[in-house]
Amino acid sequence: MHPSKEQAAEGFAREEAAGVPRDAGSRNYKDDNHKPEVIVALSETFTALAGLRDLAATRRLVDALGGGAGVDALRERLSADDDAASLRAAIGWLLGEAAREEIEQIVSAAASATSDEFAAELALTRALSSAYPADPGIVVALLMNLVELRRGEAVFVPAGVLHAYVAGLGVEIMAASDNVLRGGLTPKHIDVPELLALVDFRPAPAPLLTPSPAGAGAEVFDPRIADFALGHLTAGASTARLDLRGVSLVLGVAGEAHVTGASGAVLTLKPGQAALVTADESPIAVRGDGEVFVAMPGA
């Protein structure tokens, strides 16, 4: 997950004052900025974990695991009347207090359990357990929304939201920051107290982001933040046009896109090629069989 701008500024100043080297593996805050992000699926499917699932559903999933010391301990921590408090207690226990044997018992129960409602979640547990044996992050993943994006669908991840990208190809845009607080499934540093202080433990649906139409052949994924918006143009049989909001980056992702600026200058982008476009070239027009994404300033 990523901190808010205020949390990042405070954490960065604290680690600077403590003399923690900026390249230290144990450092949480590399800079003083936040890091909201959007990812749009390019592959036919894209698998992600984003946010914490409705607690009633999570309790049903845990019930499908049966019993055992680890499962019973997890179930107990998810039993508080306050949903956010339950999830905080469960994740804090998993990352900081649970014994390896308890984690292994939960993972084993999930690997052998069956459930029509949670078949995809249990299958992901089996895949993760082979890659990260006995990692408590496997069980944290069981508490999260499992999202299967189709091509062209997107997720917006604001501050405080636990997330992980599991499989697939996408176009990602984010604020300029390297601040990451980790919760498992990684050999990198995990600062459990700092993570627990910043995570938004309120359960909520996956934070999907629907694009807004921006004219023929154009749409904009706009999370309504100042840092960025992401345009998407597909010309097809007609010309697609987009008004830029400032200096922008145009990225080709499919076919051959002929991009024309207001000055009449034309450039051709193939997949993986990108160009910087100045604000005075707005609007841009895209012709051909190509598809492009446009990174530009936000609202």
- Claim to verify: residue 281 and residue 182 sit in the same structural domain: no
- Phi/psi for 292 (5° steps) reads -135, 155
* 23 within some domain: yes
Same domain, 182 and 288: no
Residues 143 and 26 in one domain: yes
Structure tokens at 263: 């000055």
Does 273 map to a domain? Answer: yes
In a domain, residue 171? The reply is no
Burial class (CB in 10 A: 0-12, 13-18, 19+), 141: buried
3-state SS string over 225-286?
Answer: CCCCEEEEEECCCCCEEECCCCCEEEEEEECCEEEECCCCCEEEECCCCEEEECHHHCCEEE
- Looking at residue 299, what is its pLDDT? 84
State residue 75's pLDDT score: 98
Strands 170-174 and 37-41: antiparallel
Q: Which helix (H) or strand (E) holds 10?
A: helix 5-17
Domain residues for 249?
Answer: 212-296
134 in a structural domain: yes
Both 32 and 54 in a single domain? yes
The alpha carbon of residue 139 and the mean position of all alpha carbons in its chain are separated, in whole angstroms, by 18
> What's the pTM?
0.94
* Residues 249 and 116 reside in one and the same domain: no
CATH of the domain at 64: 1.10.441.10
182 a catalytic residue: yes
- pLDDT by residue for the chain (299 residues), tens only, comes to 999 999 999 999 999 999 999 999 999 999 999 999 999 999 999 999 999 999 999 999 999 999 999 999 999 999 999 999 999 999 999 999 999 999 999 999 999 999 999 999 999 999 999 999 999 999 999 999 999 999 999 999 999 999 999 999 999 999 999 999 999 999 899 999 999 999 999 999 999 999 999 988 999 999 999 999 999 999 887 899 999 999 999 999 999 999 999 999 999 999 999 999 999 999 999 999 999 999 999 98
Q: What is the pLDDT of residue 91?
A: 98
Confirm if 94 and 140 have CB atoms less than 8 A apart. Answer: yes
Do 115 and 20 share a domain, yes or no? yes
Catalytic: which of 182, 241, 245, 287? 182
Q: What is the pLDDT of residue 41?
A: 98
Same domain? For 220 and 289 the reply is: yes
Q: Are residues 65 and 193 in the same domain?
A: yes
- Is residue 116 domain-shared with residue 226, that is, in the same domain? no
Between CA 91 and CA 196 the distance in angstroms is 8
Residue 152 falls inside a structural domain: no
| Beta-carbon contacts of residue 130 (< 8 Å; ≥ 6 apart) | none
Tell me which of 166, 198, 230 is where a domain ends: 198
Number of domains in the chain: 2
Same domain, yes or no: 26 and 108: yes
Residue 139, pLDDT score? 98
Residues 193 and 56 grouped into a single domain: yes
156 found inside a domain = no
Residue 155 within any structural domain of the chain: no
CB atoms within 10 A of CB 19: 7
**Cα gap 32→3, rounded to integer Å:** 10
Is residue 206 included in any domain, yes or no? Answer: no
Cβ contact 185:141 at 8 Å: yes
Query: Is 14 in the same domain as 84?
Result: yes
Neighbours of 274 (CB within 10 A): 14
Check which CATH number belongs to the domain holding 221 and give it. 2.60.120.10
